Structure formats: structure tokens, C-alpha cells
Amino acid sequence: MSKKAMPKKAVKQPRPDAAEHTPLKARNVAFDWSATPLHWVPGDPDTSHTINVLHLLLPAGERWFVHVYKQVLPLIRDERLREDVVGFIGQEAVHAQAHDDVLPHLRELGLDPTPYTAQVDWFFEKLLNDRTLPPGKAREWWLMERVALIAAIEHYTAFLGNWVLNAEALDREGADPVMLDLLRWHGAEEVEHRSVAFELFMHVDGSYARRVRTWGLAFSALVFLWQRGTRYFMENDPSLVEGKASFREFLRGGRQGVLPTTGDMLRSIPRYLSREYHPTQEGSTAQAVSYLAGSPAALAAEARTSGGA
Ligand SMILES: [Fe+2]
Ligand SMILES: [Fe+2]
């Protein structure tokens, strides 16, 4: 990569909260899905499937993050940021695998996700992947565009991570503990590394116009893919007669606290688009680290690591 991809002028950096920074490490988790039912929020297929869409989007999406970031590593001129990006890559690779491992279980329960994941794979591996562009400006433009897209998506993974760590309604409704641990382990690591993608974008580019443009793309793509995924699951769930996803059920889940509310999601938009935005303003590293210290999957991973050392 040529030096042309370096920022041409200093971009005003929003202030991070230094206390929110923590060294990042991948935890090599594994989950036993054998006892997890299809409707893992009991009696609530709509909520179960709305959240199940994560298993469809994240394997391809997070592997794409890793693929893009490996190309950006040579452009980083800050040692701490480089370490953070390496830690981020390690965590996202494990996240992708952990969600991928749920899919065979869904298939065993009669819900084959393959037709939908094939579309998601095409989206990330073909549409958003490296194009045969000549070295130079066009190739650098496309790399920066994807770095900015990842920063926008990570605003939402941090939003969801923070949400699920605090979604006590899922416990009250008797949600499956293994699925909850997957979501909260992942959510906690999203909160832990929530600054990395934005700081990387600010470091290598930082254009405000690009931030706004790629936010629009990321938000539209997420809404499109998410509602399609929920519809796919509801329509192909073998235990439902004429299963249908509906926005009314989504609103009901928000009111009940088992899904994020539309109001919270809308309020997160101006925060990301504010020139003063920094991800450390969202969520709490202390809460994330505290969850990870007691997460059954993270503890088992640590025991395996220290046992094998
Ligand atoms: Fe992740
Ligand atoms: Fe992430």
C-alpha cells in the first residue's frame, strides 16, 4: 500500500475517555447447544428469531472485518492502535466462529439457514470484497470506504452489546442460559473493543462526509438484512403455522424489554453523527469486564487455555 492512503491533513480527534481503554484478548469460547430450544425465549418465536438473525449476519460480516483490517495494518503508525486492531481481529474471528456454530443446531431443529446465509455471504464476500482495482487512488478509496463502514457497523454492535448486557427482561422471561451467555460474552467484547474501529477510521482517514455517507449505507443495509432474516426465520420455522414477522411484534419486544426499543435506536443516530462522538461515551468497560469475569463460556475458555499452557 502506498503512502497516498495516509491522511493528508490532521482531522480533529474527539476526546476518548482513557479509563475506558482495556487491553484486548480473544477468548477461545465453545458452547454446547444440545439443550437449546428453537424458541430460546420461551413462547416468543418473534424475539428468538429477531435475535437469531445475528447468527446469519455475523459469521460473514465479522470475517469480512478481519479481511479488511489485515489490509489496513500496514497503514497504522501508532503502536497502541496497532495492538488494539490486532486484539480486535482476534476477537472478531472468534465471534464469527461462535455464531457459525449455532447454525448446524438450527438445522437439526428443522430450520435450515443456508438459503439466507448464501445471500449474506454474497453480500460480504462479493459485493463488499476487494475489487479488481488498479493500485492507486481507486483501491485506496475503496479500502477507506470499508474502514468507515466497519466503524459505523461497530457503533451498532456496541449499541447491541450494551443493550444485551442490561436486558434483564431476557432473564425474567426465562431465556436459554447458553444463548444468553453467547450474546452477553459477545456483547461484552463488543463494548470492550468499541473504540477500535472508530479510532482506526479517524487515524487513517477521518473524513466527516465519509462518516455520514457510510453510516447511511451501513444503517440501511442492517435494517434491510435484519428484517429479511427475521422474515426468513419466521416463514421457515417448522413449528409455526404461517409464521410471519411483523413490525408490531418488534415494537412489542421493545416495550417488554426483550428487544431494543425503536426510540433507543433512533437516538443512537445523532450520537454517531455528532462531531464530538467517541465510542467511549457509550456503554461501560467496567460492566463488560465484570460480565466476562463471570461468563461461563469465558471462564471455561480460560481454564482450557491455562490447562493447556
Ligand atoms: Fe463481534
Ligand atoms: Fe466488534
Using the mean position of ligand 1's atoms as its centre, give its distance from the Cα of residue 298 in Å.
Answer: 15
Residue 11: band (very low, low, confident or very high) from pLDDT cuts 50, 70, 90 = low
The pLDDT score that the predictor gives to residue 49 is 98
pLDDT tens string 50-95: 999 999 999 999 999 999 999 999 999 999 999 999 999 999 999 9
Query: Burial level of 304, CB count in 10 A (0-12/13-18/19+)?
Result: middle
Helices 177-192 and 79-100, axial angle in degrees (round to 10):
160
Residue 131: band (very low, low, confident or very high) from pLDDT cuts 50, 70, 90 = confident
The pLDDT score that the predictor gives to residue 2 is 46
Using the mean position of ligand 2's atoms as its centre, give its distance from the Cα of residue 55 in Å.
Answer: 14
Using the mean position of ligand 1's atoms as its centre, give its distance from the Cα of residue 161 in Å.
Answer: 9
Using the mean position of ligand 2's atoms as its centre, give its distance from the Cα of residue 197 in Å.
Answer: 8
Q: Which ligand is nearest to the CA of 186?
A: 1
C-beta of residue 260 within 8 angstroms of C-beta of residue 226: no
pLDDT tens string 14-61: 767 777 888 899 999 999 999 999 999 999 999 999 999 999 999 999
Where would I find the beta strands (DSSP E) of the chain? none
Using the mean position of ligand 1's atoms as its centre, give its distance from the Cα of residue 194 in Å.
Answer: 10
Q: Which ligand is nearest to the CA of 59?
A: 1
Neighbours of ion ligand 2 (CB under 5 A): 157, 190
Cβ neighbour number for residue 287 with a 10 Å cutoff? 14
Using the mean position of ligand 2's atoms as its centre, give its distance from the Cα of residue 36 in Å.
Answer: 25
Using the mean position of ligand 2's atoms as its centre, give its distance from the Cα of residue 251 in Å.
Answer: 26
pTM of the model: 0.92
C-beta of residue 21 within 8 angstroms of C-beta of residue 195: yes
C-beta of residue 245 within 8 angstroms of C-beta of residue 231: yes
C-beta of residue 46 within 8 angstroms of C-beta of residue 247: no
